[in-house]
């Protein structure tokens, strides 16, 4: 009896398989619309057991997790083609997706670079770079929404402040009240205050302060005692700019008498007077050269001096006599004035004019590019880096993305004290101009003297 039942069921199985084969052939011959109608009809005839079976198998067939199935290297290759915002959305799909995407170092490093952030390739922690990217998005959004900065004031001078110089979190101010003060920008506290002459220019280090004055002299002061240690006499006009180098034991000064003087820093004696300017010399810069040319080599010290129309380049070192290597200008007929600001990093010279921002290659002295901002004219230069430039006019502080040559942020400025020489305002921390890194967007951005003798500060707002 049992044997007969077995053969009866076996026959039923064979009949079913034959029927299924015939149905399959017929189903494959149908159009897509007919196939859909057939499936709809079969689903309507199915019970709970069949529907559950259908659901389980469909999930396996349709929801194949390719990130889980593919080798990790291949997953990383595919992820590189997605934009960062899409990647962040993909991180929400599942824990597995979030783990794989967050582990792709190259993806997040590339995303950070696209925002103008500096990348330390030695750090291979992918999760670190994802966090850096999220931080970068927030900061760039704040810049776009004009919410990245905050303001503060320094109060202490009793007369106009003409001279400002910033270094390592400290701001020096020189005033017509015959004093110079050194401020801790982070606390707003005055660290040192010494009696000086009227200051048109200042520069300092830990031990000393060097001042250029409207009384036509340059002086060197000791912070700790307030004593004047050197007095440099010889100019016949106000001294608008000073720079010095302890290694060379040299000080340079630019004056309203159209000359640049080179002094022995420790002895106070004049080593040379450089002539050729026909306007006030409003800026002098001492800097090591970083490129090779026919006229100089890497490591050579270079002196730049600028007036209203020209930038002159001089070799400087232990020799006393030197001749001008090159004179740069933006118009031969002197129809275009240079702004009284100058950037020189040993590789490039940058200066702004009414025509735009001019960048010269220091190796060839050729103009590399002229950056124009059609929407805003006559922007003055504050700082220039690999990624960003900091500019300003009478109303706003601007950040220019040098890769796209477009303005990406602005910040309103109060009615600050205007000066044709340009020394009554300055940029603060400059490293972020070469690319933000999550740490260098802090501290002072911009400082300017105000009509009420206070100092207006623009500072990076702390990360939220």
Amino acid 321: pLDDT: 65
Quickly list DSSP for 293-315.
-SS--TT-EEEEEE-SS-EEEEE
CATH class of domain segment(s) 149-460: mainly beta
Q: Tens digit of pLDDT for each residue in 398-452? A: 999 999 999 999 999 988 766 555 458 899 999 999 988 888 899 999 999 998 8
| Nearest partner of 163 among 131, 128, 210, 129, judged by Cα | 210
Amino acid 354: pLDDT: 84
Q: In the CATH scheme, what is the code of domain 69-145?
A: 1.20.1280
Pairing of strands 425-427, 189-195: unpaired
Amino acid 422: pLDDT: 44
Residues of the chain with pLDDT below 50 are: 422
Assign residue 102 a region (left: φ > 0; alpha: ψ between -120 and 50; beta: otherwise). Answer: alpha
Residues making up the chain, counted from first to last: 464
Q: What is the pTM of this model?
A: 0.80
Q: Do domains 69-145 and 149-460 have the same CATH topology?
A: no
Amino acid 56: pLDDT: 81
Q: What is the 3-state secondary structure (H, E, C) of 366-411?
A: CEEEEECCCCCCCCEEEEECCCEEEEECCCEEEEEECCCCEEEEEE
* The two three-digit tokens of residue 405, written as one number: 């040559």
* The two three-digit tokens of residue 184, written as one number: 């801790």
Measuring CA to CA, how many Å separate 261 from each of 202, 271, 330, 424? 16, 8, 25, 22
CA–CA separation, 327 vs 350, rounded Å? 14
* The two three-digit tokens of residue 312, written as one number: 């002159």
Strand order in the sheet with 189-195: 161-167, 170-175, 179-184, 189-195
* The two three-digit tokens of residue 463, written as one number: 């990360």
Domains of the chain, residue spans: 69-145, 149-460
Axis-axis angle for helices 72-79, 95-102 (nearest 10): 80
CA–CA separation, 246 vs 269, rounded Å? 15
CA angle, residues 429, 434, 439, in degrees to nearest 5:
55
């Amino acid at each position: 009896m049992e044997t007969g039942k077995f053969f009866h069921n076996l026959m039923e199985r064979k009949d079913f398989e034959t029927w299924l084969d015939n149905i399959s052939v017929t189903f494959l011959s149908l159009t897509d619309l007919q196939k859909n109608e057939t499936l709809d009809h079969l689903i309507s005839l199915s019970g709970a057991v069949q529907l559950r079976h259908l659901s389980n198998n469909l999930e396996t067939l349709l929801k194949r997790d390719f990130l889980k199935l593919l080798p990790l290297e291949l997953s990383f290759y595919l992820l590189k083609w997605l934009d960062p915002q899409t990647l962040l959305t993909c991180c929400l799909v599942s824990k597995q997706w979030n783990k794989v995407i967050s582990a792709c170092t190259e993806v997040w490093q590339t995303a950070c670079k696209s925002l103008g952030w500096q990348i330390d390739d030695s750090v291979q922690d992918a999760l670190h770079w994802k966090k850096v990217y999220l931080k970068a998005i927030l900061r760039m959004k704040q810049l776009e929404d004009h919410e990245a900065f905050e303001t503060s004031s320094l109060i202490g001078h009793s007369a106009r402040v003409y001279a400002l110089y910033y270094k390592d979190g400290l701001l020096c101010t020189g005033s017509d009240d015959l004093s110079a003060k050194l401020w801790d920008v982070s606390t707003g506290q005055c660290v040192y205050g010494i009696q000086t002459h009227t200051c048109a220019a200042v520069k300092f280090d830990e031990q000393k302060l060097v001042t250029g004055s409207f009384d036509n002299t340059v002086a060197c002061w000791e912070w700790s005692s307030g004593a004047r240690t050197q007095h440099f006499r010889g100019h016949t006009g106000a001294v608008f700019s000073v720079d010095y180098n302890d290694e060379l034991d040299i000080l340079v000064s630019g004056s309203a008498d159209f000359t640049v003087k080179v002094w022995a820093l420790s002895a106070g004696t004049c080593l040379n007077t450089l002539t050729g300017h026909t306007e006030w010399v409003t800026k002098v810069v001492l800097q090591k050269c970083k490129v090779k040319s026919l006229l100089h080599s890497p490591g050579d010290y270079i002196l730049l001096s600028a007036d209203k129309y020209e930038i002159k380049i001089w070799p400087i070192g232990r020799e006393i006599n030197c001749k001008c290597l090159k004179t740069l200008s933006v118009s031969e007929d002197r129809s275009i004035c240079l702004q009284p600001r100058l950037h020189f990093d040993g590789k490039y010279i940058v200066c702004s004019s009414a025509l735009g921002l001019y960048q010269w290659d220091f190796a060839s002295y050729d103009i590399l590019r002229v950056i124009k901002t059609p929407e805003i004219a006559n922007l003055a230069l504050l700082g220039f880096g690999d990624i960003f430039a900091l500019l300003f006019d009478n109303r706003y502080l601007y950040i220019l993305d040098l890769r796209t040559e477009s303005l990406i942020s602005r910040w309103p400025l109060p009615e600050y004290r205007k000066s044709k020489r340009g020394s009554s305002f300055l940029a603060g921390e400059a490293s972020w101009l070469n690319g933000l890194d999550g740490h260098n967007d802090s501290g002072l951005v911009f400082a300017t003297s105000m009509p009420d003798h206070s100092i207006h500060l623009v500072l990076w707002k702390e990360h939220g």
